[in-house]
Every structure is written in C-alpha cells, then in structure tokens.
A and B are shown apart, each in its own frame.
Chain A
Amino acid sequence: MKIAIVNVCIPFIYGGAEFLADSLKNKLIEYGHQAIIVKIPFKWYPPQRIIEHMLACRLLRCENVDRVIALKFPAYYIKHPDKILWLLHQHRQAYDLWGTPYQDIPSTPDGLRIRQTIIQSDNAFIKEAKKIYTNSDVVSGRLKRFNGIDSEVLYPPLMDAEKFRCSEFGDYLFYPSRIILGKRQYLAVESMKYTRSGAKLIVAGHPDTPEQLEYIKSIIEKNHLQSKVKIIGHWISQEEKSDLYANALGCIYIPYDEDSYGYVSLEAYQSGKPVITCSDSGGTLAVVENDITGYVVPPEPQALAETIDKLYFDKVQSARLGQAGREKLSTMNITWERVMRCLAA
C-alpha cells in the first residue's frame, strides 16, 4: 500500500511524536509498503491562528496514496477516503487544560468561541476516520469524555527493542529526554540534594533552548551537586544511550502530565531496569506500578530522593522491579506486528 503519515510540524522541534512518525515509516517500509511522512506547519498563537490552520488542513489534499495515517491536531482534519487516526494529541488547551493556567486561550467571548469551534470540529472531523487509535488510555479517555468518541489504544513500540540490554546495576539513575521544563529534569536534580546514598544521576538530552540547560546547571552549582549529577546536554547516539541504560541502577522519568508512557519507560524496561515516576506524570502510570515495576511518588524532591536511595540500597529488589516491568510490557502486546495489523492491513 502507498501510505502517507500526516503529521503536524513545529519547525526545529523533534520530539516523541516525530520519532514515532519516523519509526512508523521505517516499519511500514520494512513490511513492504511504500511510506512517506508529510507535514503541515502549525502555529497556535494568537488563538485566531488555530482556526486558520484548522481550515488550511481541511483544504489540503493528499493525492496518490491509498491510505493516510494522521497523528495530531489539526493534521487529522485532512480529507482522505481511507484515513486512520493514531491520535497522539488533540489540542489539550481546549480540553483538559481548559480552566487551568495552561489554558492558553483567553476566557473572553471570542476565546470561548474558538474553544467551542475546536471541539465542534473535532467532533465532526475525527469521525471521518475509518478507524481511530490512540497512543494511550489517557488520550482515549479524553476523546471519550469530551467528544463522545470511542477509540482503541495502540501502544507505540520501540523502534529497535533488541538494541537494549541489561548488563549490571551500577550506581546511577539515568534520565534521557529532551531538556525542557515539562520533563522536569530540574526536579530530578533537586532531589539529589536529599539522597543519603552514593547514588548518582545522569541527565542526557538536547535542550529545547540554551536557557533550559543553563537553568539545570545553575541548580547543580548552587547546591554543589557536581559530584552527584552529570549532564550530557546534547543528543547522544543510540549506542551511548543503550550503554547507559544497560549499566544504570534504574531510570528516573518524571515529566508533568504527559499523555503517553514515553519511550523512556519502554527503553528502561526493555533494559530490565526499574522506573521512578511521579504521581502527576500522566501516561507513565500505565506501566510504572508502585512497588511492582518501580516507584510512584509525589513530585517532591525528598520523596524522589527516598526512592533513589531505596534502589541503591537494595539492588536485588531493583533488579526484580526491572524484570517485573519487562514482563508487564510483554503482556501489553506492545509490538509492531500489532501496529501493522491495525494501521496497514
């Protein structure tokens, strides 16, 4: 089949969604299809831009493809007779973020109208899809609650699970991710003030802006954590990453309110390592279960420090948690076979 993966593009940002699109494309080709990624740029401020881009997506066309797989708002508005959604994001500002400080759209009459329009359009256009999948229970739940639309959860697998392995349980917690406030690397660093063990922290990732990196570095300096915390402030290779997972004590992944469990959780469990996450991290709770596959704690430095120490002081238990996580993954059927069956059959 000729398949176009339609995604939204915020120039120069490469995150989980972009990685997923690339992985999906490569897998589709591996499975014998022709696949291409097409992107539509998106801007959501001032709020009027949102509806302009919604209309733009409605008017664009994708020719010469048998199927379109759309991932994000408002790219999934594009018309095609054989459209499948693998929904990563609706425009959360109009939904669960409405009424919070992250609402973004003003509560003026015109802001309310824009919100209403987003909801109405989602209601009308999402239903055009032949099948609707999402990447997490959180996203499916939201789609049902706000739009009354049913969907099936289709977990995104790792691209190259076989590259991850478990070597030994070292002395560091590993936190690989884009360095951005939402991922809360700063919180992980702060928690190292309170650890009593010899545990260390390695943070690795490309900062969205130089300021993000400076901020974390300044926390380390102010609190003299240089011997405990190491920051690799740029992209690392697949190999470097696998190595760091393989020898980690465990993984710490504590983003704020994310929809999906995140590739980090998968990579950690694939490497047989336990995961520490926060009670407000969102989608990670689908895989990280407290005391079973890792630890779930409130987003407070002391609470985090406690679990870091726990992992350090009882490495046998850490290994058990990691293994349990790995087993749990396999029960969840997070495989490319399933993805291909759902999206490309």
Chain B
Amino acid sequence: MKILIVSTIVPFIKGGGTFIVDWLDQILKKYGHESEVIKIPFHSYAPEMVEQMLALRLLDVKDYADLLIAVRYPSYVIDHPNKVLWLLHQFRQIYDLWGTPHGDIPCTPENQQVRETIIQSDNLYLRQAKKIYTISKVVSGRLKRYNDIDSEVLYPPLMDAQKYRCQEAGDYLFYPSRITTPKRQYLAIESMKYTRSKAKLIIAGSPDTPEQLDHINSIVEKNHLQNKVKIIGNWISQDEKIDLFANALGCLFIPYEEDYGYVTLEAYYSRKPVITCSDSGGVVELVEDGVTGKIVPPEPKAIAEAIDSLFFNRAQAAKLGQAGYQKLSSMNISWDRVVEKITG
C-alpha cells in the first residue's frame, strides 16, 4: 500500500511524540509498504489555529496514497477517504488544560470563540476517520469525554526494545524526561528531602527553557541535596540512557497527566520497577501497584517512602521489575500488532 503518515509538528520540540512517526515509517517499510512521513509545520498557539486548520483542509492528498495515518492534532483534519488516526493527544490547551494553571491560553471571548471552532472541527473531522486509535486509555477517555467519540487503545511500542538490558541494580532512581514543569522533576527532587535511605536520584533530559533547568538546580542547592541528586541537564544518547536504566535501582516517573510515557516501557524492558503517581495519567495504565511498581499520591513524603522501600528491599525491587517485564510481554505491545491494526 501507499501510506502517508502525516504529522503537524513544532520544530525542535523533542519528546516521545516526535519519534513515533519515524518509527512507524520504518516499520511499515519493513512490512513492504511504500510509506512516507510528511511533517507539516505548525504553530501551537490557539488564536492562530483556525487558519492553520483551514490550510490543512485545503491540501489535497487524496490521490497520493491508499491510506493516510494522522498522529497529532491538527493533522487529522486533512481530507482523505481512508484516514486512520493513531492519536497522541488532542489540543490539550483547549480541552483538559483550559482554565487550569497549566493552560497557557487566556480565557478571553475571542479565544472562547476559537476554542468552540476547534472543538467543532474536532467533532467533525475526527469522525471522518475510518478507524480511531489512541496511545492510551487516558487519551481515549478525553476523546470520549470531550467529543463523545469512541476509540481503541493501541499502545506504541519502543523501536529498539531489545537494546535495553538489566544489570546489577545500583543505588539510584533514574528519571529521564524533557525537563519541564508538567514532568515534575521538581517534585522528584523535593521528595529526596525526605528519603531516609542512601538512595540517590539521577535526572536526565533536555530542558524546555534554560529557566526550567535553573529552577530545579536551585531546589537542589537550597536544600543541600547535591549528594543525593544529580542532574544531567541535556539530551543524552540512547546508549547512555540504556546504561543508566540498566544499572538503576528503579525508575522514578511522575509526570502530571502524561498521555502515555515511553519511559515506563524503557524501565520494564530494563526489568526495573517504576514509581509513579496516581495523577500521572497514561503511566498508571502500565504500572500495577505492588506488582510491577508503586503508585503513590503526588506528595514528596509518599514518594520518598516508595523510594526507600525499593532501596531497603532490593530483592523485592528486582521482582517488581521482572514482573513489569512479564506484564509488558503479555500485553503484546508490538509493532506487528500496530501494523495489523492500522493497515488491516
């Protein structure tokens, strides 16, 4: 089949969402399809969203491919008779983040109008898809709640799961992610104030802005946590990451309302337990409290306790990690399944 994978992207924003289209492209080619990724630039600023959606509607790709896969808002407004969605997330700024401290759009009457227009378009164009998949129950839930649209969950696999490995557990919890407020590295650092064990924390990731990095560095300084917390404030290579996972005691991954979280997969492929929070969104779908890791309230003391429990009981930690790996295997989060669902 000739397959177009369309994504609207903001250049140079790194994160899980940017890899999925390239991975999917590679996999589809392996399966013998002709596939191409089209990354269309866009500006994620709501007041300018309507004209960009209009622009996407004007693009004619109907004759170019047998199948069109749309992965991000607003690329799914593009017209195609055989459109399949594998939704990473919608425009959260106008849905669940509207009117909250995490929202960055002022609730003016003009923006309210824009918001209504975007919701109307979503309702209309999402429904044009022949099949709708999402990357997690969280995303499916939002789609149902805000747009009354049903969808099937199709968890995205890692590209190179087999590269992850498990070595002897060290003394640190590993937290790899873009350094930005919703990922809540600040909360992870704060919890280190309350740990009683010798457990350490290694944070690694590229900061969204220099201020983000300064902020968490300052928390470490103010609380004299230099011995306990190490911050690698830049993007690390795949190999470095795999090493850090391999030797970790466990993975600490506590974002706010994450859509999915590849980090969870990476941890389990490394057979390491995962500590997450009850409000971490998609992460919670893959972690089972007491079985494959720990789910705690988003409070420093509770997190600290969970960290300590891993440190004080290494055998248990290893078991949790191993169970996590087993659970993943049983869930069939694989590219075979993805291709079958999308092209079948």
Footprint of B on A, CB under 8 Å? 2, 4, 6, 9-12, 34, 36-41, 43, 49, 52-53, 55-65, 78
Contact = CB atoms under 8 A, between A and B. Distances in A.
Given A2-B11, A4-B41, A39-B39, A59 B61 contact: no
B40 A59 contact: no
B12 interface: yes
Nearest to B57: A56
A11 B41 contact: no
Contacts of B39: 36-39
B2 A12 contact: yes
A41 B38 CA distance: 8
**Which of A9, A34, A37, A49 has the most chain B CB atoms closer than 10 A to its own CB?**
A9
Contacts of B9: 38
B58 A63 contact: no
Interface stretch (B48-56, B115-123, B167-175): B48-56
Contact of B10 (A11, A12, A34, A64): A64
B11 A36 contact: yes
B254 interface: no
Nearest to B44: A63
Contacts of B55: 55-60
Contact of B40 (A2, A60, A63): A60
A63 B60 CA distance: 23
B150 interface: no
Nearest to A54: B58
A11 B52 contact: no
Given A11-B61, A52-B58, A53-B59, A61 B11 contact: no
Contacts of B61: 11, 41, 43
B146 interface: no
Given A11-B4, A55-B58, A60 B63 contact: no
Contacts of A60: 40-42, 52, 55
Contacts of A49: 60
A57 B42 CA distance: 11
A11 B60 contact: no
B36 A62 contact: no
Q: Size range of the interface on B?
A: 20 to 34
Interface string B52-82: 1011101111011100000000000000000
A38 B11 contact: yes
Contact of B41 (A34, A52, A55, A63): A63
Given A11-B36, A12-B36, A56 B43 contact: no
A280 B205 CA distance: 55
Given A12-B2, A61-B52, 18 more contacts: A2-B11, A4-B11, A11-B64, A12-B34, A39-B38, A41-B4, A41-B64, A43-B61, A56-B54, A56-B55, A56-B56, A56-B59, A59-B51, A59-B52, A59-B55, A61-B43, A63-B10, A64-B13
A7 to B, nearest CB: 10
Nearest to A43: B60
9 contacts: A4-B41, A12-B2, A12-B34, A38-B40, A39-B39, A53-B60, A56-B58, A59-B51, A60-B42
A78 B11 CA distance: 15
A77 to B, nearest CB: 11
A65 B12 CA distance: 8
Contacts of B51: 59
B54 to A, nearest CB: 6
Contacts of B19: none
Nearest to A11: B64
Nearest to A52: B58
Contact of B38 (A11, A34, A64): A11
B45 interface: yes
B25 to A, nearest CB: 12
**Which of B2, B41, B52, B54 has the most chain A CB atoms closer than 10 A to its own CB?**
B41
Contacts of B45: 63
Contacts of A38: 9, 11, 39-41
A40 B34 CA distance: 19
Contacts of B10: 63-64
Contact of B11 (A43, A52, A65): A65
A312 B39 CA distance: 48
A54 B38 CA distance: 18
B12 A41 contact: no
Contacts of A43: 59-61, 63-64
